[in-house]
Each structure stands twice: as C-alpha cells, then as structure tokens.
C-alpha cells in the first residue's frame, strides 16, 4: 500500500501541468488541496451519502451519482417529472456540505445579469461596483432551467464551462468547488426553451430520479408528514474536505486498458447505425472523470472497466442523438447505450492488452507513467 | 400478375418516367435478362446429361430448343402480351422448334406438324422407351431419346418462366431445375458433375437476382437500415442448410456415396443385378463398400472363377446376354458340356449366394451337377449358363460339381485343327466393326499361325504396359459401357476395366477366326479364414467375393479342348497356367496379379503341387499364428489409441493447468491464475461473455449455482473467486507496482512459491466447489471434454473456414456491386 501511495503522489505531481490546462481548480484557487487518504475519503463520502439518504428515501443510486459528479467536478442535470424530489436532492446535497449555496428559479423573464451579476453605480464612491449574481456560490441550484430564455441559459452555461464570470470586460473567478445542479421538466413543454444538444453537453451527467418504490414511498409519507426533513440536515463536511476529496479523485490511476475501453465505448457510439450523433471526445474525458470518482467512492485507487460501465449511461445518454428510424422503432438513448455496452468486448485475457508484457517491466512503470504524463 | 416491373425509385429519379401512356411503363431489359437467366440455368442443367447420353452431339438440338423457347417468351413479354398468351406462345414455339428439328420431312413449311408427323412422333417415342428399357447409361444419342430430352427441357423452360414471372415465385424455380438434375443424379455414377451443378446454381442465382432487381418484393424494403439480426439469420440458415446436406444423405437410404447434392448418387434400389449383368458391372466395381457378398468353399487347387452368364452376340449398340430360352433345358441331375475332353479334373464347390440377386446362377465352369437349389432352374447346352425360370440366386445355397479340362500350354499349342461343331453364334463377326479393332487385331495377331499363338498375342498386347486398368477413365471419356463403339474408344484410350479388356479380346479373337464369348461373373475371391465341411470332402477353405470382384473375361474355343478362359485384364483375376508366357510359365513373378490374389493354395488338401504357383510373399500370411495374433495386436493398438484419444483433452487440460500454476514469475502468475479460473468456469459451462468485465464475470460465477450460497459450504470457493478477481483487477488495471529494490534471490523465490501455493489452493477450492455443485453429466463433460480446450481446437479449426467465408462474402459483394452497376446502367 505504501508503494501505491508514493506512486500516486508522483503521478499527481506530474499531473500538475496537465491539470492546469484541463482542470482549472488548482490554479484558480491559487493553492492545491492535499489529497485525502483512503480511510478519511471513505468516511467523508459515507457521511455525505448517509445524510442525503435520510432525507430522500430509496434513491441512494441517484444520491451516489450526484456525489460522483460533484467529486468529478462536473455539473449535474436532473430531469424528471415534477414532484419526485429533484430539487430536494440538489438542496440536500448542497446542505450536507458546509459551503455557499444559491438557488436560481429560472423563469422566462430572468435576465443574464440576474445570474452573473451586474455593475451598479455607487453614488458615494462614484464608481461602478460589481454586484455578484446568484452564480457566485459553491453549489448553484438552477431550478427549471429550461424555463429561461436561451440568452440567460447560455450565460449560466458559460459560467459552468469557464468557472468565471465576465461583466463589462472584467472577469471574476468563481469559488471552488463549483457545481451547478440544474433541474428540468421534460413533459411541461409550454413556455419552455429546451436545452440544445450543445449545451446539454456541458453537464457531466443527467439523472432521472424515477418514482420511489412502495416501501420508500410509505416511509416518505411517514417521515415527511410534519416537517421538512431538510431542516434537520446539518453540514457534515467542509469545503476544504470536499476539495481534498476532489484531489483524491484526480489521483485515481487509469490504466491503459481502461483508457482503451473508454475510447472504444466512444467509437462504438459513433459507429452505431442507430445513432445520428455519437459521443464527443469531451464526453469521453467526462466519462473517464466520472469513472475515476466512482472508483474512489468504491474505495479503489484505480479505475475498472466496471466503473466506466456504471456511469456510461448517465454521462452519455443526454449527449447522443438517436437516428430517426431507431427512434421510430422504439429505441431510446438508454437502450441503445445498453446494447452497445453489452456487445462491446472487454479485453479479459492479459495477453490481449499486453499486460503480460508490461508486467515484467513493472519496475520501470512509474518512470513510464511520468513520461506519459509530461 | 403484372408484366411491367415496378421500377426502382433510384432509377426513376435519374430518368423521368417515359412519356408513354400512364400505367404502361416501359418494360425495359427485364424480359430479356430474365429469359437469358432461365435459358442459362436450363442449358446448364442439360450439361449434366452428358454421361446419360454419350458424347455431345445431342446438345445442339437441346440448346436450340431451350434458346428458341426462351427467346419467344422474351419477345412476347417485351411486347407486353398477356401472361397466359406468353405461356401459350412458349408451348407453340416449343412445338415449332421440335417439328423443325425432328419432323422436318413430314411437316408443313418446316414448322407445322402434319398427320405424318404424329406417326413419326409415335415411332420416336417408342424408340425412346426402348432405349430407356434396354440400354444402360451412357446411351447412344438416338433421335428418340434426344427428342424426349428436348421436349422435357423445353417444358422446363416454360415451367421455370411461369414460376418466375407471372406467378412471382422466383425461388420456386429451383424445383424445375432440380427436376432436370435428378436424372443424372440417379443414373450417372459421378452424379451431376461439377460444371453442370455450378452452371445451374449460377443460373438460379441469376433468376433470383433478376427478379429481385426488377420486381422487388414489396415486403422487403431494399434500402432499410441493415438490421442486426440479418447476418445472424443468414448464418443460421446457412448452417442449417449445411447440416441438412450432411445429415440428409445419411437419413435417406438411397444416397450411397458422395456429398449431397453435388456428387451424391441416389440409388434407392440397391445393387441390382438384373437381366443384363454387364450393365451393372462397372457400377458394381465402383461401389466403395462391397455388397452382394457371395461365399464359397472349394477343393479347387487353382483360383476359382465364378461364372454366371456369357455374352456372345457382339452386334448392336449394347451387348447383353442372350436368354436362349428356346434351347434351355430344365435342370436335372446332370449337365452335359456337349463335348468330351480326355483329361478332366473334378471339383466340388459349395456356394452361398447370399444377397447376390440375379436370374443367373454363379457357378464354376464347367458345371456337371448342381444340388440344393430351390425353385425351377434351366441350363443352356451351348453356354452352360444356369438360369432360374421363376426364382433368383438370392439366398440360395448349393453344391456344384464341376469339371475342368487339364489344359496345358502344350495341348493348346497343338490344337490347330479347324473348329467344328460350334454354333454360329460364337463365330459370327459383327458387321460394323470399327477400323481400329480390325487394324489392331491384324497388327497384334496377324502374323501368328496357330489359334493359341494368336490368343496369346492378343492377351499379351492387352496386358502390356500400354494399357492401364481404370474404373474412372471410361466414365470420364464417355465410353463407360459396352458395344463396338465403346471398344473402339477403349483401344484408342487404352484405359478401362475388365469388360473392355474381355470384349476386346473376344472380338479380336473372332476376327482371327477363334470362336469366342465373354463370360461374366466373379474373379477369384479372398480367404475368409473359415472352413466349410462338405460331405465326402472334409473341411474346405471358404472364400468370399463381393461386388468389387465382379469380372468379365473371354472364353475362347479350341478344338478338342473346349472353352478355355483367358485373362487379358491387367491386375485383375489370375492368369491361368496355360495362358502365361512360355518363357515365364514357371516363374511366379509373371503373375503380377495385384491384390486380388488368392493367397496360394496352401490350405487346400489338393495333391497337385503344380497348382500352387504362388510361393510369393503372400504365402507367409497364411501361417496360423500370424493370422491369429495380428487381429489381437491390432485390437489392442486400436483400444490404446482410442483411450489416448479420449483422454487427450483431459491430458492437455491438466498440462495447461500445471504449467499455469507452476509459473515462477510472480507478475505473470496473477493473470494466469485468472485465466485458469475463467477456463475452469468455461469447463463447467459458464464461459465469459466478450463484453463482460472481470468483475462482472466473477459476480456471475459467484451468483450461479456452481458456487452455491455464500457463507455455506462453499465459502472458501467464494473467497477464492473474490481474491482471484481482486488480484487480477489490481494487476491489470491498478497502478503498476513501485520499483521494489532488488531483493535477495531466496526471498523472492520463497515469496513466489508461497503465492503459487496460495493460487493453487484457491483454484483447487473453486474446482471442488464446482464439482460438488454440478450434475454428474456436467462433471464428466468438464473432466473429459473440457470446453476450454475443445473450444480452442474448434476455434483453430474454424480459422480457415472463417477466412474463406470472409473472402467469399467480399467477392460476392463486389460481384453484386458490379452487376447492379451494370444493370442500373442498362435500364
């Protein structure tokens, strides 16, 4: 185990340059959070999930996926019919972490400046002052995001991508961690502006909550009768802890075999005759990040193909577009993805991936890993 | 029921609809292409009839008929005639072309049949029926049979066309084509033949392609996305077809050789040995497994020929035995050979005819008396053939007393007196002898003076190295059968089998003035090793012959000595003493008689020492110990071999496992242990899916019944599976192990051996759990035919097939592209 630690540190040190490009977190904050050790990571994640599960009954999968997205530094899109607890999930997750939370209720008359902030002329100082908008928080809950006009939507989406706000030519950095949890309503079409494909791509994962099962629903009726359970929730982790967890997730090792598998998933979606648009390279990056977070939540410091499979549906389903014929034949994005994953071969024999060849070279592997990362 | 094909949308887009009347679009190339395809398929099927009919002369009238009928259909269709009118036109054109070909003299204006044509037709049909009844394939292409074939093929064209176009069932046209192929499949020994089969298949595919291209089926949209099940369905259909091909001939008793459908031969009536044994001689010789087994026991010191009938009339297209019913006498106690030879040797032979079915009784020459027969039998004084009037030789057991003149070369050489008292039948020279026969006879024997010298010269010529014994080349050369034209072919090709040699010698002997006939029967057989006790003779050695020993040989008449058999066929039978070369008569190696030799006469109690001319290598086989030990040794060897073979997958599996678990390299040990676990699961019927991750496979394994409930008796196995999976995952997907300092060697070695012990214990725990949770059958299967090994063999074996399949598929696709490009260019 000791050797793993050391290797992981080496890799993370090497990752720093790369991380500066792909993951703005470390540089934006000006310092880098130290990674957590496995035990405290497990404890922290366990605390978060337990708390969320006390509030939302029978949705532990959705809760875990939401945490996965948080740790993978992505944004979450919750899409389901009204009243199944989308907003509750978002609020609970935000509440368990000792951080700033803002909620934006998207309406058709919401303006971009309401989201990003606006410069106001201060009479006393005779200067324009920037009044930060609702987006300046660690966790931003965007309720019914598809009700806002396209202009407002894209203002938020820009913040999501850049982690900064630009007003009057001046850029303001957002706090880290920064996560947008947006909810949207698929069936209420009147007066909505559905997110275009390109903008849906900004969300790391889309989750459908689904209805709770019978027992959970009965229990929900029991516990939620008198008071909102949300009132009892108090933060269980600090922002610093979350940052450390995110750093831990970044250090999760990804082997060549898993990278190949991830790429082959992407290629399979692009080659599938049932799909008009396959998964983009950016989505591959997000898929791998989500898989890393899944592996970390599972207590591993390396990614398995299983982790990729676990998150593939949530990460990819809202990015791919079905062929018209396939849609007419009753296929859904989920069913197509499931079919692709069930047919995609996983190299099981070590000989197939050259693991046997790399095994004797095990001593040189850290060096090789470094050179790969540079 | 439309003649006008629905145009492909693509074509319509490129060229706007023609300005003709709406609802009657241009017909285009469709009728012509379709008629061409049908003509190609039917004409290709007709190719297979070569061999049923001799030569190729018959093919031109057939081709003309097929082409004219198809052309008529195409023309009528392209002028948009009514479908019924098209078919009727086909019939009319068939009648016209047949009249033109066969009844031109009696017709009106060449193509209109008259009353005289009808009587002519009647004559031709009778002629054809005679041919069918009396001749054997290949028959000479006389007018009658060719006309019948033309009619049938013309009708086939109309039938195929009707199925393909107005009825819209192009796939059913295969039935019509198959109907043509059935004839050669049943008659020709080589069945349909490759080229004919290929041509029919190509034609059939053309018909299918043509209808799909021009009249696409509305139920199968052409440009829909390729559904993923399509390939699987195609593969499944193909597999079922191949399996049916292999299984069907086994299930249907008629198919006795070859692969269905190409090369197989349907023969539902078994080996028939009917009125004309010469017809079936070639087929009998070619049967791969001997049938019609006859056993006999004899006290003859010399190899014994069994003779059933003789052929003496060499006129006509096809020879057959003459019934001689007029001169036959009922079989009594005594058969009189009709001539007296001074020095006779009497032989006793007990024969069991078994399943050999023929009206003629196989007996050694010359029979004196036959006892033990059932039914009524007659014998012919001239040929001494014995024929049943109301019964056959089937299941007959009888005892024959026969006499053989003690003929020697000296006696024969002295017999130069002119022949007397022999029926004209045996001396008559057929009228239409081909030149080559006459010329050959002159060259070979013309200079010799005595009949014996002439006979010996002919036999020596036929046994010379110029001639080769072959059962196949007459078939390939188109002269399988008998008759004078066949004889000419044989003398040209110098390759054939006994009937050709025998007839050549018999005909040439007559040309040289020696009375002759062809005897048909069996060459000397093999010792069975058993003995038969015959009253008054003691135990006699038993021999057996079957269809493969069927034989024909010439008998020549010498004044004062009677009928003397000769053996001109190389590598068959045994050359009699008197017929061997004088210089070599005492040398045993003159008898280069191949594998049909009777292994000497050692077991025979006969006193004649000169009758054992074979002290050759075969003599050693007959010692008792040798012949009894050999089967035992063979049996034990076979048993051992079978045991080894049965054990081999198990041995291989055990060897693979030992090698995996013994590996010294700790880095390689983990993946090998995982593979071993996967293979173990495969052996017990739980192979991994290609899309399954190690974790998923492990979960499935542990969730299956093979491992039982966790926490119970199989807890150790569960833990082993989990540990093996975790180790493998870490090894394969985990970060590489850090650079450990070079530990001292003993430490590393000890670690390695400990870890390999742990791995072995885990595998053993898994296996014992698997075994405990599997039914007996599965357990045995896993132990003796482990799927991991057998499957690997299967994959290796399948590699060339898969490659070939891919290549064929690509070629077909390319061809289809080319064709479709061409057709769309045309239309």
Please report, for chain A, the start and end positions of each structural domain, with discontinuous segments joined by +: 252-374
Residues of A in contact with B668 (CB under 8 A): 356, 359-360
pLDDT band at A187 (very low <50, low <70, confident <90, very high): low
* Topology of the domain comprising B290-610: C8orf32 fold (3.10.620)
Mean pLDDT computed over every residue of chain A: 77
pLDDT value of residue A349: 52
Are A210 and A84 in contact by the 8 Å Cβ rule? The answer is yes
Q: What is the CATH number of domain A252-374?
A: 1.10.8.80
Token reading at B751 = 């670690």
Cβ-defined contact of B732 to A355 (cutoff 8 Å): yes
The helix or strand, by DSSP H or E, that contains position A140, with its residue range, turns out to be strand A139-143
Strands B255-257 and A321-322: unpaired
**Chain A nearest C-alpha distance from B679 (Å):** 11
pLDDT tens column, A310-320: 888 888 888 88
3-state secondary structure of B739: coil
**Best residue of A331, A359, A371, A373 to probe chain B, by most B CBs closer than 10 Å:** A359
A with B: how many residue pairs have Cβ under 8 Å apart? 100
pLDDT value of residue B599: 39
Asked whether the CA dihedral B136, B138, B141, B146 is positive or negative, the reply is positive
pLDDT value of residue B341: 65
**Is there a cis peptide before residue B775, judged by omega within 30 degrees of 0?**
no
Residues of A in contact with B733 (CB under 8 A): 255, 257-258, 302-305
pLDDT tens column, A160-174: 888 888 887 888 888
Are A235 and A359 in contact by the 8 Å Cβ rule? The answer is no
Tell me the sheet residues that pair with B534.
Answer: B538
Q: Which of residues 598-617 of B touch A (CB under 8 A)?
A: none
pLDDT tens column, B666-680: 677 788 888 888 888
pLDDT value of residue B228: 54
Instruction: Tell whether A349 is within 8 A of chain B (Cβ).
Output: yes
The contacts of residue B433 (CB under 8 Å, 6+ apart) are: B484, B507, B511
- Integer Cα distance of A63 and A48 in angstroms: 9
pLDDT value of residue B68: 92
Strands A275-277 and A101-105: unpaired
pLDDT value of residue B1: 40
Are B730 and B644 in contact by the 8 Å Cβ rule? The answer is no
- Integer Cα distance of B358 and B362 in angstroms: 9
**Chain B nearest C-alpha distance from A258 (Å):** 7
Instruction: Choose among B690, B693, B697: nearest Cβ to A304.
Output: B693
Residues of B in contact with A248 (CB under 8 A): none
Token reading at B106 = 């009696």
Instruction: Choose among B225, B675, B735: nearest Cβ to A301.
Output: B735
Tell me the sheet residues that pair with B516.
Answer: B556
Residues of B in contact with A364 (CB under 8 A): 739
Cβ-defined contact of B738 to A255 (cutoff 8 Å): no
- Integer Cα distance of B772 and B456 in angstroms: 81
pLDDT value of residue B481: 67
Length of chain B counted residue by residue: 827
B354: left (phi over 0), alpha (psi -120 to 50) or beta: left
pLDDT band at B386 (very low <50, low <70, confident <90, very high): confident
Instruction: Tell whether B376 is within 8 A of chain A (Cβ).
Output: no
Phi, psi of A140 (to 5 degrees): -110, 125
Cβ-defined contact of A353 to B740 (cutoff 8 Å): no
The count of other CB atoms within 10 Å of the CB of residue A348 is 24
The count of other CB atoms within 10 Å of the CB of residue B542 is 19
Instruction: Tell whether A365 is within 8 A of chain B (Cβ).
Output: yes
Tell me the sheet residues that pair with B371.
Answer: B399
CA angle B224, B171, B168 (to 5 degrees): 80
- Integer Cα distance of B195 and B203 in angstroms: 12
Quote the DSSP letter at residue B616: S
Nearest alpha carbon to residue B432 among B317, B513, B512, B517: B317
Cβ-defined contact of A301 to B734 (cutoff 8 Å): yes
Identify which has the larger pLDDT, A97 or B622: A97
B455 has a pLDDT exceeding 80: yes
pLDDT value of residue A11: 37
pLDDT value of residue A313: 87
Alpha-carbon distances of B250 from B246, B265, B311, rounded to whole Å: 7, 12, 38
B67 has a pLDDT exceeding 90: yes
Residue of A nearest to B735 (CA): A253
Instruction: Tell whether B425 is within 8 A of chain A (Cβ).
Output: no
Length of chain A counted residue by residue: 374
- A175-179, B110-114, B473-477, B486-490: the lowest-pLDDT one: B473-477
The contacts of residue B499 (CB under 8 Å, 6+ apart) are: B278, B281, B282, B482, B518, B552
3-state secondary structure of B287: coil
Enter the ipTM.
0.72
Instruction: Tell whether A301 is within 8 A of chain B (Cβ).
Output: yes
Are A139 and A179 in contact by the 8 Å Cβ rule? The answer is yes
pLDDT value of residue B19: 39
pLDDT tens column, A40-94: 888 888 888 888 888 887 788 888 888 899 888 888 888 887 777 778 888 888 8
Nearest alpha carbon to residue B734 among A65, A189, A99, A256: A256
Token reading at B340 = 């007296």
- Integer Cα distance of B695 and B39 in angstroms: 62
- Integer Cα distance of B265 and B247 in angstroms: 15
What is the residue whose two structure tokens read 């072959």? B470
The contacts of residue A269 (CB under 8 Å, 6+ apart) are: A275, A278, A279, A316, A320, A337, A340
Are A51 and A267 in contact by the 8 Å Cβ rule? The answer is no
**Best residue of B693, B696, B735, B755 to probe chain A, by most A CBs closer than 10 Å:** B735
pLDDT value of residue B266: 46
Are B548 and B497 in contact by the 8 Å Cβ rule? The answer is no
Identify which has the larger pLDDT, B256 or B234: B234
A334 has a pLDDT exceeding 90: no
Are B553 and B518 in contact by the 8 Å Cβ rule? The answer is yes
Q: Give the distance from CA B276 to its chain's centroid.
A: 22
Identify which has the larger pLDDT, A153 or B246: A153
pLDDT value of residue B531: 79
Residue of B nearest to A347 (CA): B690
Nearest alpha carbon to residue B568 among B460, B442, B444, B471: B460
Mean pLDDT computed over every residue of chain B: 74
pLDDT value of residue B596: 38
Cβ-defined contact of A343 to B735 (cutoff 8 Å): no
- Integer Cα distance of B233 and A191 in angstroms: 48
**Chain B nearest C-alpha distance from A133 (Å):** 43
The count of other CB atoms within 10 Å of the CB of residue A39 is 9
- Integer Cα distance of B744 and B746 in angstroms: 6
Asked whether the CA dihedral B101, B107, B112, B118 is positive or negative, the reply is negative
Residues of B in contact with A323 (CB under 8 A): 225
Nearest alpha carbon to residue A23 among A93, A63, A94, A71: A71
Instruction: Tell whether B690 is within 8 A of chain A (Cβ).
Output: yes
Instruction: Tell whether B735 is within 8 A of chain A (Cβ).
Output: yes
Instruction: Looking at mean pLDDT, say which of B218-227, B354-363, B762-771 comes out highest.
Output: B762-771
Instruction: Tell whether B225 is within 8 A of chain A (Cβ).
Output: yes
pLDDT value of residue B283: 61
B566 has a pLDDT exceeding 50: yes
The helix or strand, by DSSP H or E, that contains position B364, with its residue range, turns out to be strand B363-364
The helix or strand, by DSSP H or E, that contains position B231, with its residue range, turns out to be helix B229-251
B795 has a pLDDT exceeding 80: no
pLDDT band at B267 (very low <50, low <70, confident <90, very high): very low
Token reading at B404 = 């053989």
pLDDT band at B404 (very low <50, low <70, confident <90, very high): confident
Instruction: Tell whether A258 is within 8 A of chain B (Cβ).
Output: yes
Dmax over Cα atoms in chain B, in whole Å? Answer: 115
Where exactly does CATH 3.10.620.30 map onto chain B? 290-610
What is the residue whose two structure tokens read 């009396």? B134
Instruction: Tell whether B741 is within 8 A of chain A (Cβ).
Output: no
pTM of the model: 0.45
Identify which has the larger pLDDT, B222 or A261: A261
DSSP string, B238-266: HHHHHHHHHHHHHHSTTEEESBTTTB-EE
- Integer Cα distance of B264 and B182 in angstroms: 11
- A210-219, B142-151, B325-334, B359-368: the lowest-pLDDT one: B325-334
- A32-36, A91-95, A177-181: the lowest-pLDDT one: A32-36
pLDDT value of residue B142: 81
Instruction: Choose among A6, A255, A273: nearest Cβ to B733.
Output: A255
pLDDT tens column, A207-236: 887 788 888 888 878 777 777 777 778 888
- Integer Cα distance of B253 and B267 in angstroms: 8
Are A129 and A120 in contact by the 8 Å Cβ rule? The answer is yes
**Best residue of A251, A257, A350 to probe chain B, by most B CBs closer than 10 Å:** A350
Instruction: Tell whether B729 is within 8 A of chain A (Cβ).
Output: yes
Instruction: Choose among B224, B691, B735: nearest Cβ to A345.
Output: B691
């Amino acid at each position: 185990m000791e050797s793993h630690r050391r290797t992981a540190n080496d890799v993370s040190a090497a990752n720093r340059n790369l991380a500066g490009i792909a993951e703005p977190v470390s540089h934006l904050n000006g310092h880098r959070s130290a990674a957590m050790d496995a035990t405290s990571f497990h404890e922290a994640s366990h605390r978060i999930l337990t708390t969320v599960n006390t509030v939302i009954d029978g949705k532990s999968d959705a809760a875990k996926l939401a945490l996965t997205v948080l740790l993978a530094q992505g944004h979450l899109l919750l899409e389901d019919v009204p009243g199944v607890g989308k907003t509750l999930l978002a609020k609970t997750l935000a509440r368990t972490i000792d951080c700033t939370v803002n909620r934006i209720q998207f309406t058709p008359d919401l303006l971009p400046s309401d989201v990003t902030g606006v410069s106001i002329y201060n009479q006393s100082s005779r200067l324009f002052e920037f009044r930060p908008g609702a987006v300046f928080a660690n966790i931003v809950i965007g309720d019914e995001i598809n009700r806002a006009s396209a202009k407002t939507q894209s203002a938020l989406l820009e913040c999501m991508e850049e982690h900064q706000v630009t007003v009057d030519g001046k850029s303001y950095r957002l706090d880290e961690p920064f996560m947008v949890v947006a909810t949207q309503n698929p069936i209420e079409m009147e007066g909505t502006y559905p997110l275009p494909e390109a903008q849906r791509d900004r969300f790391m994962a889309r989750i459908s909550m689904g209805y709770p099962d019978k027992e959970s629903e009965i229990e929900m009726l029991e516990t939620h009768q008198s008071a909102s359970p949300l009132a009892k929730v108090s933060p269980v982790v600090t922002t610093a802890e979350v940052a450390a967890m995110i750093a831990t997730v970044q250090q999760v090792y990804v082997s060549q075999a898993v990278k190949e598998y991830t790429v082959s998933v992407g290629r399979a979606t692009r080659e599938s005759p049932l799909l008009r648009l396959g998964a983009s390279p950016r989505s591959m990056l997000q898929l791998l990040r989500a898989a890393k977070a899944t592996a970390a939540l599972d207590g591993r410091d390396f990614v398995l193909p299983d982790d990729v499979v676990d998150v593939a549906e949530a990460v990819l389903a809202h990015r791919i577009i079905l062929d018209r014929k396939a849609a007419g034949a009753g296929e859904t994005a989920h069913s197509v993805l499931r079919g692709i994953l069930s047919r995609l071969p996983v190299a099981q024999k070590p000989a197939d991936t050259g693991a046997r060849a790399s095994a004797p070279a095990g001593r040189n592997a850290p060096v090789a890993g470094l050179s790969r990362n540079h | 029921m439309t003649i006008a094909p629905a145009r492909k949308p693509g074509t319509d887009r490129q060229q706007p609809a023609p300005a003709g009347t709406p609802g009657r679009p241009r017909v285009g190339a469709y009728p012509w292409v379709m008629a061409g395809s049908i003509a190609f398929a039917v004409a290709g099927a007709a190719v297979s009839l070569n061999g049923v009919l001799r030569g190729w002369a018959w093919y031109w009238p057939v081709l003309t008929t097929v082409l004219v009928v198809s052309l008529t259909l195409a023309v009528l269709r392209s002028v948009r005639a009514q479908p019924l009118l098209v078919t009727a036109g086909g019939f009319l054109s068939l009648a016209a072309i047949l009249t033109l070909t066969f009844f031109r003299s009696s017709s009106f204006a060449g193509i209109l049949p008259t009353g005289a044509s009808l009587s002519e037709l009647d004559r031709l049909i009778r002629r054809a029926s005679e041919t069918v009844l009396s001749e054997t394939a290949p028959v000479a292409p006389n007018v009658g049979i060719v006309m019948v074939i033309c009619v049938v093929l013309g009708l086939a064209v109309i039938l195929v066309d009707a199925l393909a176009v107005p009825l819209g069932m192009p796939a059913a046209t295969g039935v019509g084509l198959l109907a043509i192929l059935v004839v050669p499949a049943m008659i020709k020994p080589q069945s349909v033949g490759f080229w004919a089969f290929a041509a029919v298949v190509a034609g059939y595919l053309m018909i299918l392609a043509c209808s799909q291209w021009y009249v696409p089926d509305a139920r199968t949209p052409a440009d829909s996305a390729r559904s993923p099940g399509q390939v699987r369905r195609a593969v499944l259909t193909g597999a079922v077809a191949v399996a049916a091909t292999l299984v069907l001939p086994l299930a249907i008793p008629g198919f006795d050789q070859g692969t269905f459908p190409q090369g197989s031969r349907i023969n539902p009536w078994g080996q028939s040995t009917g009125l004309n044994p010469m017809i079936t001689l070639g087929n009998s010789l070619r049967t791969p497994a001997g049938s019609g087994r006859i056993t006999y026991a004899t006290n003859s010191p010399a190899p014994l020929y069994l003779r059933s009938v003789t052929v003496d009339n060499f006129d006509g297209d096809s020879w057959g035995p003459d019934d001689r019913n007029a001169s036959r006498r009922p079989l009594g106690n005594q058969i009189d050979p009709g001539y007296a030879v001074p020095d006779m040797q009497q032989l006793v032979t007990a024969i069991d005819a078994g399943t050999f079915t023929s009206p003629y009784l196989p007996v050694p020459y010359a029979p004196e008396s036959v006892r033990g027969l059932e039914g009524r039998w007659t014998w012919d004084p001239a040929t001494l053939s014995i024929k049943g009037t109301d019964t056959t030789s089937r299941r007959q057991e009888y005892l024959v007393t026969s006499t053989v003149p003690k003929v020697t070369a000296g006696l024969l050489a002295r017999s130069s007196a002119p022949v007397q008292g022999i029926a004209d039948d045996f001396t008559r020279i057929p009228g239409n002898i081909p030149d080559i026969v006459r010329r050959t006879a002159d060259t070979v024997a013309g200079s010799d003076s005595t009949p014996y010298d002439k006979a010996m010269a002919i036999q020596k010529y036929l046994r010379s190295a110029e001639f080769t014994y072959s059962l196949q080349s007459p078939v390939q050369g188109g002269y399988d059968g008998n008759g004078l034209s066949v004889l000419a072919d044989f003398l040209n090709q110098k390759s054939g089998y006994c009937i050709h040699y025998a007839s050549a010698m018999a005909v040439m002997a007559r040309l040289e003035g020696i009375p002759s006939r062809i005897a048909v029967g069996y060459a000397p057989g093999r010792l069975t090793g058993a003995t038969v006790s015959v009253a008054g003779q003691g135990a006699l050695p038993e021999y057996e012959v079957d269809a493969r020993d069927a034989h024909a040989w010439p008998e020549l008449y010498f004044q004062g000595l009677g009928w003397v058999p000769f053996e001109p066929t190389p590598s068959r039978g045994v050359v009699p003493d008197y017929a061997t070369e004088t210089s070599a008569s005492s040398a045993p190696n003159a008898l280069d008689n191949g594998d049909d030799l009777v292994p000497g006469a050692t077991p025979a109690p006969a006193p004649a020492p000169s009758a054992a001319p074979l002290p050759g290598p075969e003599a050693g086989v007959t010692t008792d110990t040798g012949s009894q030990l050999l089967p035992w040794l063979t049996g034990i060897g076979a048993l051992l071999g079978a045991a080894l073979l049965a054990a081999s997958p198990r041995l291989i599996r055990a060897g693979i496992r030992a090698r995996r678990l013994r590996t010294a390299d700790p880095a390689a040990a983990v993946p090998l242990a995982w593979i071993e676990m996967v293979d173990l699961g495969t052996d017990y019927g739980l192979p991994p899916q290609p899309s399954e991750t190690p974790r998923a496979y492990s979960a499935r394994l542990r969730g299956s019944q093979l491992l039982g409930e966790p926490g119970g008796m199989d807890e150790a196995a569960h833990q082993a599976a989990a540990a093996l999976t975790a180790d493998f995952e870490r090894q394969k997907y985990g970060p590489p192990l850090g650079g450990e300092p070079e530990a001292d060697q003993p430490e590393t070695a000890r670690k390695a051996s400990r870890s390999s012990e742990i791995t072995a214990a885990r595998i053993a725990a898994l296996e014992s759990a698997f075994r405990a949770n599997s039914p007996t059958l599965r357990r045995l299967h896993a132990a003796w035919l482990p799927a991991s090994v057998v499957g690997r063999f299967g994959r290796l074996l399948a590699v060339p097939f898969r490659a070939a399949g891919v290549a064929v598929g690509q070629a077909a696709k390319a061809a289809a592209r080319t064709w479709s490009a061409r057709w769309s260019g045309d239309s």
